[in-house]
Amino acid sequence: MSGDRAPRRYGRVRVVHVITGLGVGGAETVLLRLLAGLDGERFDPVVIGLLDSGPVAEQLRAVGIPVFTMGWRRTIPGPRAWWRLRRCYNGLDADLIHGWMYHGNLAAWALSAGDRRRPILAWNVRHAVYGLREEKPLTRLVIRAGAVLSGKPAAIVYNGYESARRHEALGYRSPGRIVIPNGFDTDLFRPSDEAREWIRRELGCSSDTLLVGSVGRLHPHKGHDQFLQMAAAVGYGRPEVQFVMVGRGMDVSDAMLGSRIGAAGLAGRCHLLGERDDVPAILAALDILVSPSRLEAFPNVVGEAMATGVCVVATDVGDTARLLAGHGTVVPRDDRQAAAAAVTSWLDAGPQARQQEGRAARAHIVARYGLDRMVAGYDRLYRELTDRCGEPELHPPRRSG
């Protein structure tokens, strides 16, 4: 177990966030942005990551948030793992415990159920289930367990309306169901002519090369095979178009990915950049962002690309169509022909049409999905929960013994 000291700041609501992992991902990034933006005079946050530490853990510590990591493996945890989690949690004096993602939700419930102080319990669901058969066996089990226990939390937060609908069809219930969409840092994600030129120089491309890219870890749900087939169709006869794939596992060390690129006729034209810490610059360098996901609740990369003024083609999963709101193009999932046609159409439309669409998309994100709106939603939720369930103990914990 690793972590920081977490001395209690009395007079503030101690919120313990339990999240599955703290690597680079959508939920982890949202948690980081939320805790950096919440009112520090009212809320006193602590984070527990069930898996090993990761980049987001270090970023949280850098903004002063205590973080504990449990080092669990991606299997059913044994008694010793639960004992270590309970031992860590017992010293935190939680007023409100907020689970993030399926495993974090169940762990948060177990911790709250064994806490005699009876902290307020909330869950956060970050996924859209398109069929339990598409999930791993352990994930299916955890989703079903969540449905059985879903009446326990005082609130379940969903990051998308489609996610809420699909989980409620599986039996998820809560006295406080709420949708809080993700928010985007529109100062970080913004248009940049400098980034456009810089990334092209890194790739060895000319300034007039058209870049079509995807951002997401290497995982079947992310639809990278569909992206490559789309790219093969789009790139045929268009040497001025090149392709970029960014995310954990998206590098030359993956032999299968390399063979697929070769088979698609994209050798030398498809750049695998792996996991990067300069995603805002990469997005700003693209002409078109393609999100080929098969499963998604609320695709962060779509909103981030819109904020950078980039034209988007995305599959119709989760709340993607609601987020785009008519900007860019929505295509059916697993329909590479429709995706290729949409990308080709935007390439043919020319730079002025793409820039006009990008400006409108950015204005939509700034107006409707700014980071401050998301933070305000969680602030309001936490205040309502403490009012509804009774003001938590904001004084030193009782001594044992």
| Predicted confidence (pLDDT) per residue in 99-126, tens digit | 999 999 999 999 999 998 899 999 999 9
Edge-to-edge strand ranges of the sheet holding 120-125: 2-3, 67-69, 43-49, 13-19, 96-100, 120-125, 155-158, 177-179
Angstrom distance (rounded) from CA 27 to CA 22: 9
Question: Position 10: which residue type?
Answer: Y
- Quick one: pLDDT at residue 392? 52
Q: How many CB atoms are closer than 10 A to CB 355?
A: 15
- Quick one: pLDDT at residue 393? 52
Residue ranges of the chain whose pLDDT lies below 70: 1-5, 7-10, 389-401
- Quick one: pLDDT at residue 391? 55
pTM for this structure? Answer: 0.88
Q: How many CB atoms are closer than 10 A to CB 377?
A: 17
Q: How many CB atoms are closer than 10 A to CB 206?
A: 10
Kind of pairing between the strands at 311-315 and 288-291: parallel
- Quick one: pLDDT at residue 203? 94
Domain annotation for the chain: domains and CATH numbers: 2-183+370-389 (3.40.50.2000), 193-368 (3.40.50.2000)
Q: Is 196 helix (H, G, I), strand (E, B) or coil?
A: helix
Angle subtended at Cα 354 by Cα 341 and Cα 306, rounded to the nearest 5 degrees: 95
Helix, strand, coil percentages in the chain from 3-state DSSP, rounded to 5 = 45, 15, 40
Q: Per-residue pLDDT tens for 192-215? A: 999 999 999 999 999 899 999 999
Q: Per-residue pLDDT tens for 278-321? A: 999 999 999 999 999 998 999 999 999 999 999 999 999 999 99
- Quick one: pLDDT at residue 400? 38
Q: Is 383 helix (H, G, I), strand (E, B) or coil?
A: helix
